[in-house]
């Protein structure tokens, strides 16, 4: 199967079925079997590039289409974006970009939309122009949105929070591929084995458990590891775990609550931090995910992990309030810090999602806070970058009577705000965007 066909089918799954691009692409590449690495690389570039630049592509296509791009049948819309991405960003010859894209449409709808797609792409190929952003000084949010293919409401939020220059750098970084980062309790040994196998691996900049792998898939690291345990986890997520419970590392018998646990990366990191004599209670709302978490904990040999299937916004069954040495609330969020890995969120999120997420986050945080011992840290964390979900929500908790706690001793200072909160940005730290704050009852 060709790279364009794989990308087309993956993009349709994202557009029509609501799939995450990363999972859909992994499944498609696996189903394709033995495929030339260059074709796999092109399929990846076409998939992620088209999603990252979808809003720009729609604007570039609009003058050539008699119908609004958003009203087209999904297959035609996906085909137009895929063809336009090749014309505008990859410099693909028009006959290849247009001809092969039209061929994809013919294959799925017997050619009904093929004539339309052919006409629009040929018109674009004769006048291939990207939309011109307004000057940064005149309209900062408009410039960021148009230049980096970002929803206007996200650009406005980032400009208001971080300033125009930082917002532009952040949006630009979100359009770059994310590095492959793993976490291992035996990081240095893992690095030695990776290098011995000829893999380009280096320590992560801030997490003492993180390693960055370049130019090789994770399965190559699995072969090289020879039994050294590791887990794929972004460095920002690792820092959130360290921020929540880093002070407990090496302690004996510590008890930690992970209030929103699936898929379990932070749960297992916490288990490594507190060791076999500690306990991590992982709460997950969805039964299927709770079962998967329980199975994965058993597979990894983490007997100190106990999984409970429950709603973290409600009293937790079997758990006594004020009974944990640390509580992590990694709340469900809009995910705006993960746009490098999930560019489809640019097309799915709305301004209303931020307020909706904040309401649920506040309910979960208010309930989970009750389970921290007096003076023990309660860490609220999100992988999103908006004030409503982050600083504003934490301030609301402070206004209710909770006080801020300082970060763990020795925590990387360049990942902290002036208030001592954790804030990572792809533009500064080359990891996902995370926000976290530590609180305690007064």
Please enumerate, by residue number, every residue annotated as part of a binding site.
260-266, 284, 311, 330
Cis peptide before 297 (omega within 30 of 0): no
* Residues 404-413: contacts with CB under 8 Å, at least 24 apart: 404/437, 404/438, 404/439, 405/377, 405/438, 405/439, 405/440, 406/438, 407/243, 407/438, 408/242, 408/243, 408/246, 408/247, 409/247, 411/242, 411/243, 411/246, 412/206, 412/239
Beta strand spans in 277-340 (E): 279-284, 305-309, 326-330
**Active-site residue, selected from the candidate residues 181, 333, 383, 431:** 383
User: In angstroms, rounded to a whole number, what is the distance separating the alpha carbons of residues 418 and 423?
Assistant: 10
Whether 383 is a known active-site residue: answer yes
The neighbour count for residue 363, using CB atoms within 10 Å, is: 15
User: In angstroms, rounded to a whole number, what is the distance separating the alpha carbons of residues 169 and 98?
Assistant: 33
Which residues have a Cβ under 8 Å from the Cβ of 371 and sit 6 or more positions away? 257, 259, 316, 319, 320, 321, 322, 323, 324, 327
Rg of the chain taking only CA atoms, in angstroms: 23
Which residues have a Cβ under 8 Å from the Cβ of 419 and sit 6 or more positions away? 404, 437
Which residues have a Cβ under 8 Å from the Cβ of 410 and sit 6 or more positions away? none
Angle between helix 94-109 and 74-88 (nearest 10): 170
Local structure of 205: helix, strand or coil: coil
Local structure of 25: helix, strand or coil: helix
The enclosing H or E element of 233 equals: none
Nearest residue to 85 via CA among 4, 146, 26, 152: 4
Catalytic annotation, residues:
383
């Amino acid at each position: 199967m060709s790279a364009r066909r794989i990308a087309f089918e993956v993009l349709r799954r994202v557009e029509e079925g609501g799939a995450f691009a990363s999972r859909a692409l992994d499944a498609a590449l696996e189903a394709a079997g033995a495929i030339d690495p260059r074709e796999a690389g092109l399929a990846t570039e076409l998939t992620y590039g088209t999603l990252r630049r979808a809003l720009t592509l729609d604007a570039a296509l609009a003058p050539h289409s008699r119908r609004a791009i958003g009203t087209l049948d999904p297959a035609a819309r996906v085909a137009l974006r895929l063809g336009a991405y090749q014309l505008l960003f990859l410099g693909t010859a028009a006959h290849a970009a247009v001809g092969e894209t039209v061929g994809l449409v013919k294959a799925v709808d017997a050619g009904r939309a093929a004539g339309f797609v052919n006409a629009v792409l040929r018109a674009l190929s004769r006048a291939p122009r990207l939309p011109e952003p307004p000057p940064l000084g005149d309209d900062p949010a408009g410039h960021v949105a148009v230049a980096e293919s970002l929803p206007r409401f996200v650009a406005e939020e980032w400009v208001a929070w971080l300033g125009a220059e930082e917002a532009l750098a952040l949006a630009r970084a979100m359009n770059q591929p994310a590095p492959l980062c793993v976490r291992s309790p035996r990081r240095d040994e893992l690095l030695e084995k990776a290098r011995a196998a000829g893999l380009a691996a280096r320590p992560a900049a801030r997490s003492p458990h993180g390693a960055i792998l370049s130019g090789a898939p994770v399965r190559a690291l699995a072969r090289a590891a020879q039994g050294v345990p590791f887990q794929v986890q972004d460095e920002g997520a690792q820092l959130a775990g360290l921020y929540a419970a880093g002070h407990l590392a090496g302690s004996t018998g510590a008890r930690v609550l992970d209030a929103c646990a699936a898929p379990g990366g932070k749960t297992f990191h916490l288990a490594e931090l507190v060791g076999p004599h500690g306990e991590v209670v992982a709460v997950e709302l969805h039964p299927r995910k709770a079962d998967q978490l329980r199975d994965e904990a058993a597979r990894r040999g983490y007997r100190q992990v106990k999984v409970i299937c429950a709603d973290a916004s409600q009293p937790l069954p079997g758990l006594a309030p004020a009974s944990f040495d640390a509580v992590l609330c990694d709340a469900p969020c809009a995910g705006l810090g993960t746009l490098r890995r999930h560019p489809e969120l640019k097309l799915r999120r709305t301004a209303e999602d931020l307020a909706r997420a904040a309401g649920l986050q506040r309910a979960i945080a208010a309930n989970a806070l009750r389970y921290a011992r007096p003076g023990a840290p309660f860490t609220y964390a999100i992988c999103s970058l908006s004030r409503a979900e982050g600083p504003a929500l934490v301030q609301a908790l402070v206004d209710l009577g909770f006080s801020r706690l300082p970060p763990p001793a020795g925590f990387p200072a360049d990942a902290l705000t002036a208030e001592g909160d954790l804030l990572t940005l792809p533009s500064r730290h080359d990891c996902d965007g995370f926000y976290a704050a530590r609180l305690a009852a007064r």
